[in-house]
Amino acid sequence: MPHPAMSPDNVAVITGGASGIGLAAAMRFAALGMKVCIADIGADRLKDAATRLSSLAPGGAANVMSATVDVRRADDVAELETVVRQKFGGTDILMNNAGIQPGSRMFGPLENWQRILGVNLWGIIHGSQVFAPHMIERGRPGLIINTGSKQGITTPPGDPAYNVSKAGVKAFTEALQHELRNTPDCQISAHLFIPGFVFTGLTARPQRKARRRLDGRADRRLHGQKRRGWRFLHPVPGQRRAASARRAAHPVGGL
């Protein structure tokens, strides 16, 4: 059964929505008859993505909006929430998906670490802190979906800043879900989304092949076999073991 938030005329906001997983999710939401806002950087990319979404949305361009947003900046994210509320009335699904992986070294440039953590971790913190209170106020079922990575769990060698950012996303999402389920009258839940390997612009660089092999071996050691496909992971209630957090639910195949 689809989550009730995934219903026609409900509103989905996706950061990093101009390409890759974000755009695939936006296309699925649009095909369901939802109103969709994609936030990203790059005006041309956003324009092209919005055109594709408009062709899928039953309501056409009127049910699609795009916004240039740097998720590292809390003010940008706050402005995004405001314009979505003004145009569509509020948000039912927030997908904090913006992410980068330029590569990193333990003793590499500080600016590189700050940029990776700024987008991958602070972007999710900003999105959740800005959107969640308004989503709760709506009094409707809703979802906050934070895109993590198996590298935040297996932490293979070779890209420490990315691993740290995605491990932080996992910890933050679990804490967020704990907060939401203990908030009176709250119908919002938080979910950690762990993609398997997906061919996108983020993964296209040749230098990542060796890291994928290392990651795959670590993943097989952890799970017993190489996992394929995409899943939502239910957050861990209380002090359940971390293995429980990896039990998959709500498959999202076909995005």
Which residue of the set 88, 162, 172, 193 is catalytic? Answer: 162
Is 228 part of the annotated catalytic residue set? Answer: no
Q: Which residues, listed in sequence order, are joined to residue 12 by a DSSP beta bridge? A: 36, 93
Contact in structure between 176 and 128 (CB atoms under 8 Å): yes
Question: Which residue type sits at 105?
Answer: R
Positive or negative: CA dihedral 129, 133, 136, 142: negative
Whole-number pLDDT of residue 236? 42
Q: Residue 28 and residue 66: Cα distance in Å, rounded?
A: 16
Question: Which domains, from first to last, does the chain contain?
Answer: 11-249 (3.40.50.720)
Whole-number pLDDT of residue 17? 98
pLDDT exceeds cutoff 80 at 238 = no
- Residues 167-186 pLDDT 10s: 999 999 999 999 999 999 99
* DSSP-based three-state secondary structure for 179: helix
pLDDT > 70: percent of the chain: 77
- Residues 61-70 pLDDT 10s: 999 999 999 9
Of the listed ranges 109-118, 168-177, 186-195, 242-251, the least confidently predicted one is: 242-251
Q: Residue 145 and residue 123: Cα distance in Å, rounded?
A: 13
pTM beyond cutoff 0.75? yes
Most distant CA atoms of the chain, gap in Å: 50
